[in-house]
């Protein structure tokens, strides 16, 4: 390819990507400005692309309502607890499948675990509902959702962690045994650090799933425990359709995943550069 | 068939953490049909150079020419070079025959012609009996030969071989070296071979380009590198066991110039013309290099010697290697395998003044 | 007391890799296992280390049966061919690892790690990560990690094979002089026969099923018990010609089956070969005992001259290989790199027949030991 053609292609590429970025970012922009509009402006027939006046007081309206704050905190608790459990248990199970495939049931077991993600989620709704209701007396609590989300996050975490552990050199572990570490200590000191980058991606995936889940949360919880995905539509289900608050609340709900991603990304990148040993 | 010319090549890798100048003002001309090795320790820039020749890496400045045609901007597939990789890079689910025929298939050669070519190459490499097997069933040496065969089958302008022997056992490596040399003799193609192993480079090539820290240190035949190494690095890198070095000062007595080690314990007599060069040049500090093979326990007509104390006598089959001390310096010498001189013994090591290499202490360049 | 005894050791998967091996390595001994790759050398080390479980047999270290102990309870230290350095830990922490495992006090760890690092000349690098140091430095770090542990046996798997000649020679000398190695039993694995000969107090040549010959360097190189041993020691490899022993005019000859080459059998060998009544043999002569006859050179003793033409001449750094065709047979000789020979040039080859070996064609056994 000649130098000129190359430059032309590069320019076209940038134009295309720029347009793409605009299209992708527009909903966020619109959500942002809607969140700070007054209710009258939101309900105008012709939409405005810049608020007449930024209603910063909308923030007060959101945070002065305890149920909104509780919903955010409940979601945070459920997503984090669920992620911690999924990653911890998934790492142990993934390690077993990677290092002792025969004792752990082999490829079939690994596939069976993954296949739990293949049936329609609704299929387990009724049995789970019954089960939680029987055990906890009600489904409207944190623990029900934490356990329920494990049904989806555990197979993913197990499968991915298995792949990461398989790629981690076995010799490092053996070297650790010869240094005198018991298998459990070698696992935590040597093997686990090798898969931290992978683990961070798994954690992020699990956390985001739990943070954004709506269907099960809607069925199981609602009065004692609220989550943000149920809380958001609440703003427009009453007599007054508070679109501006709905937009602002969901905008706030986007912030934690973004922060989490930025924090975890550092570990992911650092982990990747550790792999460079050639030369 | 091609002459490969690298003209003042530079390669700079730019990154946020700073630029890495991997190849510096590198010029080299490989004649048509010549076998040239790029030799150097890891990180010396030889792999970057090779990747630029093949087109896998862009050239920061300078020109690469095949038969006078500049190829800097040609994509790898249009350069008509074949490359064999360190890691074989065979397709695991193809048979050996399919692996070998693949480059021809891509070029639309008919099935019949393909079969004929594959047989010919397989015969050359002596892998006819494994043609229907998959790579997994082959030994390392056989896989390496298939990988070579896949490069050879294309009849390209030049062959590029990247560390193709580093995974082979010493025993097998030796056979492969001789085989590859034969193949080159019978095909007469231009070949560029990259390695960090000086023995492979010397055994295979007509000329060797020694690289260090991105720069070409010397380009020459085995005899050039061995008898007239350009600098301390080349002298130390070529030859096994490595060359002995001493920091020395010239001393004049009775019209004779002697080079005395800094601790005063070891004295070397350079050849007359080197002594003259040292006198002309003046200066007070030099480096003497002498190869372990050129220090012998048998006088055999040699008049000059140094005294040393044996530290270690390592038997290695065909020969033994002595590690000795002379003053504060440690040195090695090669002796006959039957020599049973042991630790603590004092010995005289004889040498020919012509074999005493003298380098400038500051620039580390050979005095000529 | 750190003597290592191996009794009737068996290990195999689809086929036996180690078959009823017996071996004793004394305290302070440096035992080298040499052989081609894939023959089970590493498996032997892994069995001793406890990373593999033997099918049968016992491993006794310092008088204690360790066959069933898990690796972390065995007093052994091992280096891996790939070094197996922990990428997320500094050089210091890598070396300190065995001490940390025993939860030694901080000051003692610091002291011992730095002692070892100084000994191996890597004390300037202790803060770096493995990715930031060179191959030779990685190797020293791996060695440091084993040395610091003060085990009863050192297991070293190809520790210097992948390094430049210069560093290799430096480290080789270090193995000879390291005091720490002289207090325990050592097993060193390599595929490089020169390294094995130079380092080993005794050498075990690994072949199919285990060690096919055990002896000192001089024994395994100069008195190989089988053709396998002879073929795997020496570079270039020993010349092997399939021959028939025939008597002509009272002189016993080894006549090559595929060419017209015939070499007289040296006097001491005639007797051991039962006057030639063994029929066909594999005749082995090392390239170092075949040389090019120079003008005015006189023959000594059992030297015999054959005419040949050069097919390949390859000057290496310190010696040259000359491959010639003599009467239809291909013979490799060692020669000086300073004299050039052209393809097709006629040469007279001097064969020192007193240095020849005669191997049984079926069992490969050396008939003239």
The enclosing domain of B168 has a CATH number of 3.40.50.300
Restricting to C residues 47-66, those with a Cβ less than 8 Å away from any Cβ of A are: 49-51
A15-43 pLDDT, tens digit each:
999 999 999 999 999 999 999 998 888 88
Q: Which among A73, A38, A41 is positioned nearest to A58, based on CA atoms?
A: A38
Q: Which among B58, B68, B81, B59 is positioned nearest to B29, based on CA atoms?
A: B68
Asked which of B215, B237, B259 is the last residue of a domain, the reply is B237
Q: C355 pairs with which residues across the strands?
A: none
Looking at the structure, do residues B248 and B232 belong to the same domain, yes or no?
no
**pLDDT number for residue B267:** 93
Asked which of C232, C261, C292 is the last residue of a domain, the reply is C232
**pLDDT number for residue C333:** 94
Looking at the structure, do residues C213 and C252 belong to the same domain, yes or no?
no
Looking at the structure, do residues C110 and C13 belong to the same domain, yes or no?
yes
Chain C neighbors (3+ CB pairs < 8 Å): A, B
Residue from the list B42, B73, B75 with its beta carbon closest to the beta carbon of A279? B42
Domain of B318, CATH number, reads 2.40.50.140
To the nearest whole angstrom, how far is the Cα of A11 from the nearest Cα of chain B?
20
To the nearest whole angstrom, how far is the Cα of C109 from the nearest Cα of chain B?
32
Q: C198 vs B1, which has greater pLDDT?
A: C198
To the nearest whole angstrom, how far is the Cα of B86 from the nearest Cα of chain A?
13
**Distance (Å, rounded) from C-alpha B332 to C-alpha B246?**
12
**Distance (Å, rounded) from C-alpha A42 to C-alpha A60?**
18
Q: How many CB pairs under 8 A join A and C?
A: 68
Residues of A in contact with B73 (CB under 8 A): 1-3
Domain of C253, CATH number, reads 2.40.50.140
C84 touches chain A (CB under 8 A): yes
Instruction: Work out how many domains chain B is built from and give that number.
Output: 2
Test B312 with C194 for CB contact under 8 angstroms.
no
Percentage of chain B surpassing pLDDT 90? 47
Looking at the structure, do residues C124 and C255 belong to the same domain, yes or no?
no
Looking at the structure, do residues B179 and B318 belong to the same domain, yes or no?
no
Give the pLDDT mean for C9-21. Answer: 89
Residue C26 within any structural domain of the chain = yes
**pLDDT number for residue A211:** 94
Asked which of B204, B237, B270 is the last residue of a domain, the reply is B237
Residues of B in contact with C190 (CB under 8 A): none
- CB contact at 8 A, C79 and C42: no
The pLDDT confidence band at residue B255, using thresholds 50, 70 and 90, is confident
Asked which of C197, C232, C267 is the last residue of a domain, the reply is C232
Looking at the structure, do residues C274 and C224 belong to the same domain, yes or no?
no
Residue from the list C36, C135, C221 with its beta carbon closest to the beta carbon of B171? C36
C97 touches chain A (CB under 8 A): yes
- CB contact at 8 A, A65 and A234: no
Test B181 with C314 for CB contact under 8 angstroms.
yes
Test C86 with A190 for CB contact under 8 angstroms.
yes
Looking at the structure, do residues C221 and C108 belong to the same domain, yes or no?
yes
Q: How many helices (H) and strands (E) does chain C have?
A: 9, 20
Looking at the structure, do residues B285 and B173 belong to the same domain, yes or no?
no
Looking at the structure, do residues C200 and C221 belong to the same domain, yes or no?
yes
List the domain range (segments joined by +) for residue B9.
4-237
Test A2 with B75 for CB contact under 8 angstroms.
no
Choosing among B240, B332, B335, which should be mutated to test the C contact, i.e. which has the most C CBs within 10 A? B240
Residue from the list B181, B240, B312 with its beta carbon closest to the beta carbon of C317? B240
**pLDDT number for residue A269:** 61
Residue C365 within any structural domain of the chain = no
What tokens appear for A40 in the block? 């009258």
Residue from the list A174, A181, A194 with its beta carbon closest to the beta carbon of C101? A181
C131 touches chain B (CB under 8 A): no
C303-319 pLDDT, tens digit each:
999 999 999 888 877 78
Choosing among C48, C66, C71, C116, which should be mutated to test the A contact, i.e. which has the most A CBs within 10 A? C71
Chain B neighbors (3+ CB pairs < 8 Å): A, C
Asked which of C232, C262, C282 is the last residue of a domain, the reply is C232
C243 touches chain B (CB under 8 A): no
Percentage of chain C surpassing pLDDT 90? 63
Looking at the structure, do residues C223 and C244 belong to the same domain, yes or no?
no
Residues of A in contact with B43 (CB under 8 A): 279
Looking at the structure, do residues B188 and B254 belong to the same domain, yes or no?
no
Looking at the structure, do residues C32 and C164 belong to the same domain, yes or no?
yes
Q: Is A186 exposed, middle or buried (0-12, 13-18, 19+ CB in 10 A)?
A: buried
Q: How far apart are the first and last CA of chain C?
A: 36
List the domain range (segments joined by +) for residue C144.
4-232
CATH architecture, domain A65-274? Orthogonal Bundle (1.10)
Chain A neighbors (3+ CB pairs < 8 Å): B, C
Asked which of B208, B237, B266 is the last residue of a domain, the reply is B237
Residue B26 within any structural domain of the chain = yes
C112 touches chain A (CB under 8 A): no
Range name among B47-56, B61-70, B136-145, B152-161 with the lowest pLDDT average: B136-145
Residue B365 within any structural domain of the chain = no
Residue B20 within any structural domain of the chain = yes
C327 touches chain B (CB under 8 A): no
**Distance (Å, rounded) from C-alpha A110 to C-alpha A245?**
45
Looking at the structure, do residues B181 and B89 belong to the same domain, yes or no?
yes
The pLDDT confidence band at residue B188, using thresholds 50, 70 and 90, is confident
Q: Is the pTM of this model over 0.90?
A: no
What is the layout of strands, in order, in the sheet containing B215-220? B81-84, B158-162, B190-195, B35-39, B207-212, B215-220
Peptide bond into C218 cis (omega under 30): no
Whose tokens are 């990789």? That residue is B85
Q: Is C196 exposed, middle or buried (0-12, 13-18, 19+ CB in 10 A)?
A: buried
**Three-state secondary-structure class, residue C119:** helix
- CB contact at 8 A, A178 and C76: yes
Domain residue spans in chain A?
Answer: 3-35, 65-274
Nearest-by-CA chain B residue for A3: B73
Give the pLDDT mean for B1-25. Answer: 87
Angle separating helix axes B170-187 and B111-125, nearest 10 degrees: 120
The pLDDT confidence band at residue C1, using thresholds 50, 70 and 90, is low
Question: What is the value of ipTM here, to two decimals?
Answer: 0.83
Test A279 with B75 for CB contact under 8 angstroms.
no
C233-249 pLDDT, tens digit each:
988 889 999 999 998 88
Instruction: Work out how many domains chain C is built from and give that number.
Output: 2
Looking at the structure, do residues C195 and C151 belong to the same domain, yes or no?
yes
Residues of A in contact with B13 (CB under 8 A): none
Looking at the structure, do residues B256 and B182 belong to the same domain, yes or no?
no
Looking at the structure, do residues B232 and B123 belong to the same domain, yes or no?
yes
As a whole number, the mean pLDDT across chain C is: 90
Residue B350 within any structural domain of the chain = yes
Q: How far apart are the first and last CA of chain B?
A: 37
To the nearest whole angstrom, how far is the Cα of A270 from the nearest Cα of chain B?
15
Looking at the structure, do residues B194 and B264 belong to the same domain, yes or no?
no
Looking at the structure, do residues C227 and C312 belong to the same domain, yes or no?
no
Test B237 with C164 for CB contact under 8 angstroms.
yes
Q: Per residue of chain A (279 residues), what is the pLDDT tens digit?
A: 556 788 899 999 999 999 999 999 999 999 999 999 988 888 888 888 888 888 899 999 899 988 999 999 999 999 999 999 999 999 999 999 999 888 877 778 888 888 888 878 788 888 888 899 999 888 889 999 999 999 889 999 999 999 999 988 888 999 999 999 999 999 999 999 989 888 999 999 999 999 999 888 888 888 888 898 888 888 888 888 899 999 999 999 999 999 999 988 877 765 444 433 332
**pLDDT number for residue A3:** 64
Range name among A6-15, B102-111, B345-354 with the lowest pLDDT average: B102-111
C183 touches chain B (CB under 8 A): no
C234 touches chain B (CB under 8 A): yes
Q: How many helices (H) and strands (E) does chain B have?
A: 9, 19
C260-297 pLDDT, tens digit each:
999 999 988 888 887 777 788 999 999 999 999 888 88
**Distance (Å, rounded) from C-alpha C23 to C-alpha C32?**
12
Looking at the structure, do residues B28 and B99 belong to the same domain, yes or no?
yes
Nearest-by-CA chain A residue for B45: A279
Test C36 with B140 for CB contact under 8 angstroms.
no
Domain of C148, CATH number, reads 3.40.50.300
Looking at the structure, do residues C152 and C294 belong to the same domain, yes or no?
no
Residue from the list B43, B73, B75 with its beta carbon closest to the beta carbon of A279? B43
Looking at the structure, do residues B178 and B289 belong to the same domain, yes or no?
no
């Amino acid at each position: 390819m000649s130098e000129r053609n190359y430059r032309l292609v590069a320019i076209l590429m940038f134009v295309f990507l720029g347009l793409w970025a605009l299209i992708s970012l527009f909903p966020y922009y619109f959500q942002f400005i809607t969140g700070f509009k007054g209710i009258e402006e939101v309900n105008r027939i012709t939409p405005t692309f810049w608020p007449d006046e930024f209603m910063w007081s909308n923030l007060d309206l959101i945070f002065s309502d305890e149920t909104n704050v509780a919903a955010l905190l409940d979601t945070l608790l459920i997503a984090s607890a669920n992620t911690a459990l999924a990653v911890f248990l998934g790492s142990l199970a993934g390690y077993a499948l990677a290092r002792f495939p025969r004792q752990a049931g082999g490829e079939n077991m690994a596939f069976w675990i993954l296949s739990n993600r293949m049936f329609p989620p609704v299929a387990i709704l009724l049995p789970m509902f019954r089960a939680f209701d029987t055990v906890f007396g009600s489904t409207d609590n944190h623990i029900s959702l934490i356990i329920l989300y494990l049904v989806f996050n555990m197979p993913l975490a197990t499968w991915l962690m298995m792949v990461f552990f398989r790629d981690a050199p076995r010799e490092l572990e053996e070297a650790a045994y010869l240094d005198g570490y018991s298998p459990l200590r070698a696992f935590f000191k040597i093997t686990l650090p090798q898969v931290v980058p992978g683990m961070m991606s798994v954690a992020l995936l699990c956390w985001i799933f739990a943070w954004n889940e709506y269907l099960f949360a809607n069925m199981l919880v609602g009065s004692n425990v609220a989550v943000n995905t149920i809380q958001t539509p609440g703003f427009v289900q009453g007599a007054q359709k508070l679109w501006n608050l709905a937009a602002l609340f969901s905008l706030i709900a986007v912030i934690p995943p973004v922060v989490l991603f930025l924090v975890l990304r550092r570990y992911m990148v650092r982990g990747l550069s550790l792999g460079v040993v050639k030369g | 068939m091609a002459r490969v010319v690298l003209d003042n090549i530079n390669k700079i890798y730019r990154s946020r953490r700073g630029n890495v100048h991997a190849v510096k003002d590198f010029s080299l001309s490989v004649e048509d049909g010549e076998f040239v090795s790029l030799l150097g320790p890891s990180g010396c820039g030889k792999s970057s150079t090779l990747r630029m020749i093949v087109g896998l890496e862009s050239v920061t400045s300078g020109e690469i020419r095949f038969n006078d045609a500049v190829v800097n901007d040609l994509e790898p597939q249009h350069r008509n070079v074949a490359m064999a990789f360190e890691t074989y890079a065979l397709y695991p689910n193809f048979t050996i025959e399919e692996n070998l025929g693949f480059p021809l298939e891509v070029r639309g050669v008919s099935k019949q012609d393909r079969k004929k070519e594959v047989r010919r190459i397989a015969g050359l490499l002596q892998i006819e009996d494994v043609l229907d097997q998959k790579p997994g069933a082959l030994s390392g040496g056989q896989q390496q030969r298939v990988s070579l065969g896949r490069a050879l089958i294309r009849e390209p302008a030049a062959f590029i071989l990247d560390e193709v022997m580093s995974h082979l056992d010493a025993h097998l490596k030796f056979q492969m070296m001789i085989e590859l040399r034969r193949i080159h003799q019978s095909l007469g193609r231009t070949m560029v071979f990259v390695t960090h192993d000086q023995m492979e480079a010397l055994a295979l090539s007509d000329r060797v380009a020694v690289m260090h820290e991105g720069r070409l240190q010397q380009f020459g035949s085995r005899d050039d590198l061995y008898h007239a190494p350009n600098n301390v690095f080349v002298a130390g890198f070529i030859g096994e066991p490595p060359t002995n070095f001493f920091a020395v000062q010239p001393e004049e007595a009775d019209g004779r110039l002697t080079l005395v080690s800094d601790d005063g314990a070891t004295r070397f007599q350079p050849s007359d013309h080197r002594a003259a060069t040292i006198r002309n040049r003046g200066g007070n500090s030099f480096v003497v290099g002498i190869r372990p093979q050129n220090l012998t326990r048998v006088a055999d007509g040699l008049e000059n010697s140094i005294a040393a104390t044996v530290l270690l006598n390592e038997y290695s089959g065909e020969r033994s290697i002595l590690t000795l001390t002379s003053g504060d310096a440690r040195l090695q010498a090669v002796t006959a395998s039957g020599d049973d001189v042991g630790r603590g013994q004092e010995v005289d090591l004889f040498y020919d003044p012509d074999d005493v290499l003298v380098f400038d202490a500051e620039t580390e360049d050979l005095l000529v | 007391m750190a003597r290592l005894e191996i009794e009737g050791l068996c290990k195999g998967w689809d086929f036996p890799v180690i078959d009823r091996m017996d071996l004793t390595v004394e305290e302070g001994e440096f035992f080298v296992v040499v052989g081609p790759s894939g023959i089970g050398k590493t498996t032997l080390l892994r069995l001793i280390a406890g990373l593999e479980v033997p099918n049968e047999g016992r491993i006794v270290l310092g008088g204690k049966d360790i066959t069933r102990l898990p690796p972390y309870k065995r007093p052994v230290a091992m280096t891996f061919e790939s070094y197996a350095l922990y990428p997320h830990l500094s050089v210091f922490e890598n070396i300190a690892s065995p001490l940390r495992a025993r939860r030694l006090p901080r000051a003692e760890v610091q002291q011992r790690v730095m002692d070892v690092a100084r000994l191996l000349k890597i004390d300037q690098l202790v803060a770096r990560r493995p990715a930031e140091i060179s191959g030779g430095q990685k190797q020293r770090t791996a060695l440091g990690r084993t040395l610091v542990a003060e085990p009863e046996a050192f297991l070293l798997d190809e520790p210097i094979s992948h390094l430049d000649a210069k560093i290799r020679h430096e480290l080789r000398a270090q193995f000879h002089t390291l005091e720490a190695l002289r207090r325990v039993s050592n097993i060193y694995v390599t595929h490089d026969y020169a390294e094995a000969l130079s380092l080993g107090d005794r050498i075990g040549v690994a072949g199919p099923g285990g060690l096919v010959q055990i002896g000192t360097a001089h024994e395994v190189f100069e008195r190989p018990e089988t053709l396998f041993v002879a073929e795997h020691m020496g570079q270039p490899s020993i010349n092997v010609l399939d021959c028939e022993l025939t008597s002509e005019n009272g002189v016993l000859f080894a006549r090559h089956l595929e060419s017209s080459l015939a070499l007289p059998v040296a006097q001491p060998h005639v007797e051991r070969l039962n006057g030639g009544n063994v029929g066909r043999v594999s005749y082995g002569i090392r390239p170092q005992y075949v040389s090019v006859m120079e003008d005015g050179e006189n023959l000594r003793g059992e030297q015999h001259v054959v005419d040949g033409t050069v097919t390949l001449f390859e000057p290496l750094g310190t010696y040259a290989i000359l491959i010639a065709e003599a009467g239809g047979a291909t013979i490799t000789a060692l020669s000086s790199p300073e004299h050039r020979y052209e393809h097709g040039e006629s040469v007279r080859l001097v064969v020192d027949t007193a240095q020849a070996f005669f191997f049984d064609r079926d069992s490969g056994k050396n008939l003239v030991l």
